[in-house]
Every structure is written in structure tokens, then in C-alpha cells.
A = this chain, B = another copy of it.
Amino acid sequence: MRRAHHPEVDEIALTGVMAALSDPIRIGLVRVLADGRERGWGELRAPVAKSTLSHHLRVLRDAGLTRTRQEGTRCFVLLRRQDLQARFPGLLEAVLAAAEDEDVGRQVSVKDGPHPA
């Protein structure tokens, strides 16, 4: 497992973000992460093979949408909400609202119920 590359805030490219969010699975992942909670890979439920999930998470990471932390053999993802807001104000909010409205990425979920307080 190689240490992942995360772009700096000012390296986040608009086209990269748009491309990353043009896939339903990835939008679903972002929606799941939208509550700000860090999630382990294993918590994420998506109808794709694990290698494919790894691919999608990589695209999100490379685009600057998420941050990955490694702990032992497990990885955790976090949505870079503040960074995104600083870079492209209002963009993520608008996309999330639109995704909710259309229910894009509903195929993605977390193992346990949502925020068990």
C-alpha cells in the first residue's frame, strides 16, 4: 500500500472535480460522507467489486474531494468539505443538494444505520 497523493487546496482542479462527480457511484460515496464523519472502507456499501471501489475512491482522492488516512491495514475516508468550500465556494453544497433531489447514488450506503449519535 503506497501512501496516497492528495492535491493541495489550490491544486484542486475544477474539471477534475466535475469529472469525479459525473459518476453515480462516486456521487453516492460523497453523499455518504457528507455528514462529515470519517468512514472506513469496509463500512462503505456499493454494488461493485472491491477493486472497482478502490478505483472510485482513488478518483475522488486524486480529484481532491476526499482525504484518506491509513491505520494499520484499514483505511478511512473523509470528505474535504472545508477545502472544497474554500476552493470552489458553494459548489459542493449545490451538487449535494441536487444529488439529494434526484437521489443520485442511492446504491451506495454505509453498513450500519446513519449516524447512530
Contact = CB atoms under 8 A, between A and B. Distances in A.
Given A19-B22, A22-B19, A22-B22, A14 B95 contact: yes
Contacts of A19: 18-19, 22
A29 interface: no
Contacts of A90: 90, 93-94, 97
Given A14-B104, A15-B27, A18-B19, 8 more contacts: A15-B22, A18-B18, A18-B21, A18-B22, A19-B19, A19-B22, A88-B98, A88-B101
B13 A102 contact: yes
Contacts of A95: 14, 18, 91
A102 to B, nearest CB: 5
